């Protein structure tokens, strides 16, 4: 099926997605480089891959399908073997009387269409899709294996125990030599189990894997959407082999069991580069291992997608337009601060600016941004790295975390000398960032001169769309909630942003609660941020210079229109994004 170039150009023009000047330049570039117009527009960022696939589908008269979030019958999916699906980028997703509908990247791949037609004995109905859609659908092959994971573990456990005993020669774990532990780590059953644990964790969307030794067993837990869940329990005999395997992967000392160790390793799978940060800690029953999972090339975030809206969103955009000063994200570990900073960097990442970062670790890799990893063992700290970055002619600097007075002082000086500085700081609220910096030794007059915008945030679990139930607040619930948060103030925010009608009241506004289902055991899936954002206004500057507390600063910020995290959480609960129970679990005042 040939796509006429004039038809494609006409469709791109009609879509309004690309300017006429860009189309003209692309046509010229296409003739010079002999590349297709679509490839050039996508690689130059003028069109998304999904938009280009849609345009191709229109030109060919073939429907476009997006398989993201699509429930595909495992029996239909398995009609095309995984190796063929993966190598040819083709997914069987729907079977009907008309034939088998298959999503493809290349609908001109006639040999694979003919092969599948002969194999399944059905008429093949090709449909266009995009790479992200295919990648997500390919993970369903592994999802269909989830039920078998524990069976695999059990099947291999016997060989592990036997191998462990053979290697140890009846000696305990403390007596094993480095050579014996290395042999154990390279044993096939051990390798298979560790690979399975990691694959399963990635598939489940886990952020951490906890491998915890007990008196008579080894417990594996996954942190999913901020909550720890038991994944499986293994025999205690498997512990030494599993820990040894993880140590080999992360270049840690195999025979060091008395001291904590930190390491990292990386794998590449169909979802991209995934990095793992490993920490081992001696406990009474053996070494506990925690693996942090970092998806390096995560992309496609937007401030709106992270949960920002209304006045808070406008304040962040205003802060990013400044040529100098500091934008700070605050919150505890795991509250999404770094993701917020990366999203801002992605927006700021234009050809006319030089962006440099100093991080620990580099969580996402970003094109055209100079990212540096701290290495404390050789003296490359946040402070030393930042000092060097200032000699690299940067316009925008991102410091992974301000954790000491020296880093704080350098960040302040960088913003005073014409740089926009983005960073994180560990405080419980946005207003708490000011006294925290003063505690680090930064003078108040320097804070008011440099800090422009401060974001406070937490992450709450999202309600699964198909697993939520509507309800209305009872009088008792209203009174109980009103003691914690000002409902009248939230109602005003809802009306200002046109979320509810101007005549709405709490008797007519629905809330939502989780309803466990097949799609979600607890009624939640994924997480979203709740935020508070304050700007360093003239009145707040005066308060800081007078030594005001965090509570006093927050009170003034609220008077100036700031929505607190708790209020933002209830705001999202009204929209059915999360539940009031989840918001109160994560943050309270």
**Domain identity same for 411 and 334:** yes
**Domain identity same for 126 and 15:** no
Kindly give the parts of the chain with pLDDT less than 70.
Answer: 1-5, 59-60, 142-176, 269-272, 297-300, 518-520, 588-589
395 found inside a domain: yes
User: 113, 142, 171 — which closes off a domain?
Assistant: 142
**Can you give the pLDDT at residue 145?**
44
C-alpha distances in Å from residue 102, one per residue of 16, 163, 509: 29, 45, 43
Q: How far apart are CA 251 and CA 264, in angstroms?
A: 8
Instruction: State the residue range of the domain holding 371.
Output: 310-586
- Asked if 174 and 257 count as a contact pair (C-beta separation under 8 A), the reply is yes
**Can you give the pLDDT at residue 151?**
57
What's 283's domain CATH number?
Answer: 3.30.450.90
**Domain identity same for 327 and 473:** yes
**Domain identity same for 468 and 359:** yes
Domain count, the chain: 4
- Asked if 234 and 217 count as a contact pair (C-beta separation under 8 A), the reply is yes
Strands 206-213 and 286-295: antiparallel
**Can you give the pLDDT at residue 31?**
75
pTM: 0.73
**Domain identity same for 270 and 330:** no
**Helices 146-168 & 188-203, crossing angle to 10 degrees?**
150
**Can you give the pLDDT at residue 456?**
97
- Reading the block at residue 558, the tokens are 């609220």
**Domain identity same for 9 and 86:** no
**Domain identity same for 266 and 359:** no
What is the torsional sign of CA 121, 123, 128, 129? negative
**Domain identity same for 210 and 114:** no
**Can you give the pLDDT at residue 355?**
96
């Amino acid at each position: 099926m040939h796509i006429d170039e004039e038809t494609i150009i006409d469709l791109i023009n009609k879509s309004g997605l690309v300017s006429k000047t860009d189309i003209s330049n692309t046509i010229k570039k296409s003739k010079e480089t002999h590349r297709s117009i679509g490839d050039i527009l996508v690689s130059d960022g003028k069109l998304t891959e999904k938009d280009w696939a849609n345009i191709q589908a229109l030109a060919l008269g073939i429907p476009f399908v997006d398989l993201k979030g699509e429930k595909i019958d495992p029996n239909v999916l398995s009609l095309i073997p995984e190796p063929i699906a993966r190598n040819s980028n083709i997914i069987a997703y729907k079977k009907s009387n008309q034939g088998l509908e298959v999503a493809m990247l290349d609908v001109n791949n006639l040999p694979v269409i003919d092969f599948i037609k002969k194999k399944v004995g059905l008429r093949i109905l090709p449909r266009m899709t995009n790479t992200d859609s295919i990648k997500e659908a390919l993970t369903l092959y592994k999802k269909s294996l989830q039920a078998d994971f524990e069976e695999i573990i059990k099947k291999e456990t016997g060989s592990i125990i036997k191998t462990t005993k053979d290697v140890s020669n009846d000696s305990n774990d403390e007596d094993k030599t480095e050579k014996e532990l290395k042999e154990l780590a390279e044993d096939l059953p051990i390798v298979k189990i560790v690979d399975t644990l990691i694959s399963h964790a990635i598939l489940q969307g886990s952020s951490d894997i906890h491998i915890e030794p007990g008196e008579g067993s080894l417990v594996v837990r996954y942190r999913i959407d901020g909550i720890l869940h038991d994944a499986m329990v293994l025999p205690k005999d498997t512990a030494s082999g599993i820990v040894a395997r993880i140590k080999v992967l992360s270049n840690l000392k195999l025979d060091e069991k008395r001291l904590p160790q930190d390491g990292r390793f990386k794998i590449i799978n169909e979802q991209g580069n995934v990095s793992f940060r490993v920490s081992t800690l001696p406990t009474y029953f053996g070494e506990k291992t925690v693996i942090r999972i970092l998806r390096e090339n995560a992309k496609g975030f937007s401030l709106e997608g992270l949960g920002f809206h209304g006045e808070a969103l406008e304040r962040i955009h205003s802060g990013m337009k400044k040529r100098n000063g500091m934008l700070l994200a605050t919150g505890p570990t795991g509250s999404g601060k770094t993701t917020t900073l990366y999203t801002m960097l992605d927006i700021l990442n234009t050809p006319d600016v030089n962006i440099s970062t100093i991080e620990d670790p580099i969580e996402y890799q970003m094109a055209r941004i100079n990212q540096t990893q701290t290495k404390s063992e050789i003296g490359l700290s946040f402070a030393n790295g930042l000092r060097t970055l200032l000699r690299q002619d940067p316009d925008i600097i991102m410091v992974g975390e301000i954790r000491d007075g020296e880093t704080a002082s350098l960040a302040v000086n960088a913003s005073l000398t014409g740089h926009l500085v983005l960073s994180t700081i560990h405080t419980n609220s946005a207003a708490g960032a000011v006294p925290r910096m003063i505690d680090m030794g930064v003078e108040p007059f320097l804070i008011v001169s440099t800090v422009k915008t401060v974001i406070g945030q937490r992450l709450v679990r999202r309600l699964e769309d198909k697993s939520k139930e509507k309800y209305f607040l009872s009088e008792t619930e209203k009174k109980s909630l009103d003691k914690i948060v000002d409902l009248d103030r939230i109602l005003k925010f809802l009306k200002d942003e046109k979320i509810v009608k101007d005549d709405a009241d709490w008797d007519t506004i629905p809330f939502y609660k989780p309803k466990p289902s097949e799609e979600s055991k607890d009624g939640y899936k994924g997480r979203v941020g709740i935020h508070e954002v304050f700007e360093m206004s003239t009145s707040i500057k005066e308060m800081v210079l007078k030594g005001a507390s965090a509570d006093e600063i927050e009170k003034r910020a609220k008077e100036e229109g700031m929505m607190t995290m708790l209020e933002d959480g209830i705001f999202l609960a009204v929209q059915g994004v999360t539940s009031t129970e989840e918001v109160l679990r994560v943050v309270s005042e």
